Structures are given as structure tokens and as C-alpha cells.
Structure 1
């Protein structure tokens, strides 16, 4: 049963012992949520958000969010150019925890309602790029998770093994997903700072003076980590009118070109949400969830008939100069710096290179007397019996081989 407003006000007081709670009002979308939440008024006219998790999973997310919000320093927030919730207080409450943060005013747009063209799609794409371009030290310094492409790939392999054992996944989907996980081209990407699975409603929007939507803030920081940027774009599969503009704005705003398989991988993550829902049902012993997930995958499989996930994936071009440069950049600098350059100069005595000054360097067999006489009659005489210095070794042979409205916003995510 949802906690009353008086209970939530008491929870906020526990987290803010030195702050007077002047009022409290409900903050909800009217659905069964993962949090009980309220807007709390404090002196100065500011509204804060107090949230209490309603399940162990939601509590785990709160604990992760606390670390993430503390990791977002003033410098990191300045780089983003939009707001993230500011932590104001937290305290144990009713065998769980209350978290109080600043309130981000604005509005949300569901993915399926995002229109094409300049506007919401462009704003969200650019905001995501700025998050992904944050210095990785923001994550590493806070001890948050770091997942390499190999880690992400292994996670999906385990997920497919689990759903495969259930016998509830259509063969077409299993083949499609296995092929994607096994394709090396999908996993040759640079891990970035990510939110770890955001939704379109994670972005709080407002209209600029000229009426253009812009991102005022971003919610859902509990998954902050270093990982696959495609995770934060998987929801774009539910925005058919705007998906092209989202990716275009993302690419244009990023300081680094996104990997060529980003969009394919984002679609893969979107499809695998059904598999994760199935695993959740199995692990929680909920046959209703298992059946629901299986029905969803049957529909997905039917809808994907004739659709090849990897069809638009670029083939490797052996002559691609950018790939060649990328390979060079992977060569350890200390190895190259330690290469032997002692022969890269002409400041040496050629005579010192002759190791066998008394040895005749003539590969021809000895001449007979008559052959020598014949040669002497046709050309100037050359005394081949004199020692010849060996060819000077090349330098190449000697060098070491380097191998973030007006209506109140429900700050809970769509999973509420």
C-alpha cells in the first residue's frame, strides 16, 4: 500500500533534519510505482522530491543513484550544460531508505510521440552525446562499474543461454540474436560514460525563448557507468518517426564519431528487453510474466519476418585509412619509444662493419687458369682475390620490431 503524504513528509524530515518542511503534495502518475514520492516545500519557495523505494530492486537503484549523483561534480555538470538532480539528503526509513533531491521542472515526451525534425529528437540526441562525452574519470573515480565490449558481449551470451533453456523463445529470434552476438563487427566500439539504459522520459524538456524544445535536465542516473553507448539509445526503436533525427543529432554533437554498428546494437538491445522480461519472470517464479514475455516475443518474431538485423552493418574495408590509423594508435608508446635507433645515422666508420677482412666475398666458384686467361683477354683485369667489405646492414634490419513545463513532473522512470 502506498505511503501517505504525512508519512512521506516524516521521511523527508528524517533526511533533512535541519530543514523545516512547510508543505507536501503528491507526485505520481497514478500507476503502481517503484517509489512512493512526494513534492516537499521548504523555505525559500523551493520544491524538493522525496522518494521511498517500494521493493528491494528499487532500493538497489536508489543506492546506486546516491553514488552517481555524488560523482557528478560541478565540473561534470558544467560540461553537460543541463541539470541533473542534486542530492539534498538521505536517511534509513521503514527498513528501506528515503532520498531527497532537487526537483527538475519541465515536461516529458513518450518515445512514440516524438516527432521528426528539429525539436525534441534533436535536443535528446545532443544531450545524450554530451553525457557520453563526459570524462571517464567521473565514473572511475567514484568506483562505478566499468564494462568493456567483451564484458557486454559475454553478458548477452549468458542472457541468450538462459532464455534458450526456457524453450519459450521462437527459433527465428534465437538465430537472429545469436548471429548478432557472434558478429565481431558489433563489438568493436569504444566504451563511453553511459546512463546504462535510459528512456525517452528520462529527459526533462522545456521550451526555449524561441519555442524550440531543449533538454532542461536528465533523470535516472542509477546506471551511471562506463559501457555500451547503444544501451542509452535502445528506446529509439520505439520512436519510428524520429529515430533518424535522434541518431543524426547524436553523431553531430559527439566529439567522437559513433561506431558504425551503434544503431544495429541499439536495436539489438531493444529486442532483448523481451528476453530480459522473460528471465525476470523465471527468476521471480511468475508464470504470468513468463507467458506475457513469450507472447511478446511471438509477436516480435512475426513482425520481423524478412528483416535482417545485420543487413545494414558495414563490411570491413581493408583499405580504410581510419582503421589503419586506429591500429597504429593501439601500438604501446613505450615499445615504439624503446626501439633501437643506433643505426639511424651515418656517423660510423664503414670499415668497422667488416667483420672478416681476410675473407674473400665471391660467390662464384674458383676459376680455372684457362677461364681466367679468357676473361683477361676481353676486359680489364680485376683482381677478385682481394678482400671485399660486406654490404652495409640497413637500419630497418637492425631496428627492434615494435610490435539532462509547467506541470509537475513525475520523477519516477517509466518502469514505475
Structure 2
């Protein structure tokens, strides 16, 4: 049974020493069931987010996210045009942990509802470009993953071998993806700091005095790594109206040389979510998931009948292809032990962190809340699960 907001608020006092909590309410948008979550209000009016992971996979994601948040030093946060949650404390709770962060207010927009033109599309493109411009030392100092183009290519080849043995993938898709794996033009990109496949619902917006939306916060950091920047743009396959504007804003804000194959790889990442869903079904010995994934793959194949992935995509993407890829809303990004969908939910050059010291399993390192920033530096902003 899910823990009540008041139970979570009581647990928060063990994680955040000295907290005087005067109210609590459920955080309904958090984690798609992977967390028990609530918003706790302090006597001084501040809101905190209190979460307890409900399974081992959610706990592992929380551990990765806390390492990332601790790596977001004051210097790193000053490089970002929006806020990130601040880790305030953690404490053991039975076979899990209670995790406390500050609350970031704002509204969220699902990919399919991102409109074309200025506004949200441009804010998303610019915001992702700013993440990709962060110094790689932020990730390396925290001991977070780093993947080269050759690593990504090798992973794709392994994935194709697995799904090929299943016998449930249309030949057209296997040929399409094999050609992508073999095309050198796709794998000459520069690896950057990435969020590991962020969704639009991870971003928070608020409207300025003129009514224009402004990006104010980013919630999900558990996938922070060095890798293919296109992975953070794969959601554009579900936003056909806004995709051109997102990529235009991204290119204008990017500090790196243009990546002519980025949009192709973004589509490739989106299509491969179907394949990963099939692999999950095979590995979990779930015939129902395998059948569902096979149906999705057949629909994708039919929609791509006359489409060439490796052609010049910007002016050649077809509406029916976008509609088929929009089926991604049915495909969870990753899965917990109970098949609950989960989200597939940095420091400056002078900063260094020991991954061992940052692990949640070392209670003595995590039980004490870190010093808070001066409130004049803070801007509060919040949480959400992936769109599925």
C-alpha cells in the first residue's frame, strides 16, 4: 500500500534534520508508481519533495540522480538558464530510503502538445543545447557513465543481434537498422554531456509578464552521462509540429560544430524504443509483452514503407511516419521488477567526487543534509514522470 503524505512527511524529518513540517500533500505526478511521493510544507513556507522508491530499480535510479545532483555545484548551476532540484537529505527506511529535495514549481508539456513556433519549442531546443554545452569534467568527476560513438554503435549491433534471434521483427526494419549501424556518417558525432533520453515532461515552464513560456526547471537527472546528444532529442519524433523549431533553436544555441546526422540518429533512437520493449518481453519471459511489441513493430514497419532513414530527413519526413512513431507513448522507456514503466524516470573543473562516497549504501555519508545555498541564490521550481 502506498504511504500517506503524513507518513512521508514524518520520514522526511529523519532525512532533513531540523525540518519543522506543518503540512503535507500527495505529489500525484511523481514516478508513475515507482515512488511514494509527497510535498511537505515547512513552517517558513518552503515546500520540499519527499520520495521513497518502491522497488530496487527505482532506488538505483534515485542513487544515480543524487550523485548527479551532488555534482551540480554552485558553479555548474550558474551555467544553466534554469533550476535543478537541490538534494537536502536522505535516510534509510526499511529496505528503501527517504529522499528529500527542494520543490520546483512550474507546468509541464507533453511532446505531442508542444506547439510549433517560438515559445516552448524554442525553449526546449535552447535548454537542451545548454545541457550539451556543459564541461564533460562535470560527469567524469562524479564517476558517471561515458559512452563514445563506437560504444553506441556496438550497443546497436548487439541489440540487433538479440531482436533478430527473436524472429518477431519485420525484415524491413532489420534491414533499415542494419544499414544505420553500418553507415559511418551516423557515428562521427562528438559526444557531449547528455541527460540520457530526457522527456519533455522533465522540463518545467512558467509564463513571463508578456505571457511567453519560459523554461524554469529540469527535474530528471538520473541519466546524466557523456554520450550521443541525439538521445535527448528522440522525443521530437512524437512532436511533428514542433520538431523543426526545436532543432533550429538547438542549432542556434549550440557551441559545437553542426551535426548533420543528429536528426537522423534522434529518429533512430525513437524507433529503437520498440525494439527495446521487445527485448524486455523476451528477457522477462512475458509472451504478452512480446506480442505487444511485435504488433508495434509491424505498425512501425508499415508506416515506414517508403521512408529512407538515411536520406536527407529535414524536408522528407512524412506525416504518417510521425503518426506511427507517436505510438512511442505506448512503449515504456524501461521497466522495474514489477513491469511498472520507469524513466529511461556535474561539477566544475576544480571539483572532484568519489563515487564510493556518494553511494546511498554508505549511510553515514548521506544522512546529513548538505549546506543549503543562501536563499537569495535559490529559485524554487518540480517533478514529473515520463510521458507514456
| TM-score, length of structure 2 as denominator length | 0.80
Aligned to 1:412: 384
Query: How many residue pairs were aligned?
Result: 323
Aligned to 1:122: 122
CA drift of 1:54 comes to 1.7
Q: Does 1:12 align with 2:26?
A: no
Deviations 1:162-196 (A, max 9, x none): 11111111111111111101111000010000001
CA drift of 1:411 comes to 1.5
Whether the 8 Å contact between 1:29 and 1:410 is mirrored in structure 2 is no
Greater shift in the superposed pair: 261-270 or 30-39: 30-39
Deviations 1:33-85 (A, max 9, x none): 21111001113101111111122211110010010000111111111121001
Whether the 8 Å contact between 2:48 and 2:100 is mirrored in structure 1 is yes
Greater shift in the superposed pair: 8-17 or 64-73: 8-17
Whether the 8 Å contact between 1:193 and 1:225 is mirrored in structure 2 is yes
CA drift of 1:31 comes to 8.7
Aligned to 1:279: 279
SS for the counterpart of 1:22 is strand
CA drift of 1:279 comes to 1.2
Whether the 8 Å contact between 1:27 and 1:410 is mirrored in structure 2 is no
Whether the 8 Å contact between 2:5 and 2:39 is mirrored in structure 1 is no
CA distance in 2, matches of 1:296, 1:31: 25
Alpha-carbon spacing, 1:55–1:285, altered in 2? closer, same or farther (3 Å): farther
Aligned to 1:368: none
Whether the 8 Å contact between 1:180 and 1:310 is mirrored in structure 2 is yes
The aligned runs of 1:79-94 (5 Å cut-off) are: 79-94=79-94
Deviations 1:360-411 (A, max 9, x none): xxxxxxxxxxxxxxxxxxxxxxxxxxxxxxxxxxxxxxxxxxxxxxxxx971
Aligned to 1:297: 297
Give the number of the structure whose alpha-carbon radius of gyration is greater: 1
SS for the counterpart of 2:115 is coil
CA drift of 1:208 comes to 1.5
CA distance in 1, matches of 2:81, 2:147: 26
CA distance in 2, matches of 1:9, 1:156: 44
CA distance in 2, matches of 1:212, 1:256: 28
SS for the counterpart of 2:14 is helix
SS for the counterpart of 2:25 is strand
The aligned runs of 1:365-380 (5 Å cut-off) are: none
SS for the counterpart of 2:245 is helix
Alpha-carbon spacing, 1:11–1:288, altered in 2? closer, same or farther (3 Å): farther
Whether the 8 Å contact between 1:35 and 1:412 is mirrored in structure 2 is no
SS for the counterpart of 1:116 is coil
Greater shift in the superposed pair: 110-119 or 277-286: 277-286
Alpha-carbon spacing, 1:412–1:58, altered in 2? closer, same or farther (3 Å): farther
Deviations 1:295-317 (A, max 9, x none): 11111111111000001179xxx
Whether the 8 Å contact between 2:103 and 2:382 is mirrored in structure 1 is no
Alpha-carbon spacing, 1:313–1:242, altered in 2? closer, same or farther (3 Å): closer
CA drift of 1:213 comes to 0.9
Alpha-carbon spacing, 1:218–1:276, altered in 2? closer, same or farther (3 Å): same
Deviations 1:144-174 (A, max 9, x none): 1111111111111111111111111111111
CA distance in 2, matches of 1:280, 1:53: 21
The aligned runs of 1:265-276 (5 Å cut-off) are: 265-276=265-276
SS for the counterpart of 1:197 is coil
Deviations 1:177-229 (A, max 9, x none): 11101111000010000001100111101112221111101111001011000
| TM-score, length of structure 1 as denominator length | 0.75
- Structure 2 gaps of 5+ residues are 315-380
- Structure 1 gaps of 5+ residues are 315-408
Alpha-carbon spacing, 1:2–1:285, altered in 2? closer, same or farther (3 Å): farther
SS for the counterpart of 1:165 is helix
Aligned to 2:25: 25
CA distance in 2, matches of 1:216, 1:130: 13
Alpha-carbon spacing, 1:126–1:72, altered in 2? closer, same or farther (3 Å): same
CA drift of 1:415 comes to 6.1
Deviations 1:4-44 (A, max 9, x none): 22321232122113212221101114995211110011131
CA distance in 2, matches of 1:6, 1:153: 48
The aligned runs of 1:291-330 (5 Å cut-off) are: 291-312=291-312
CA RMSD of aligned residues (A): 1.8
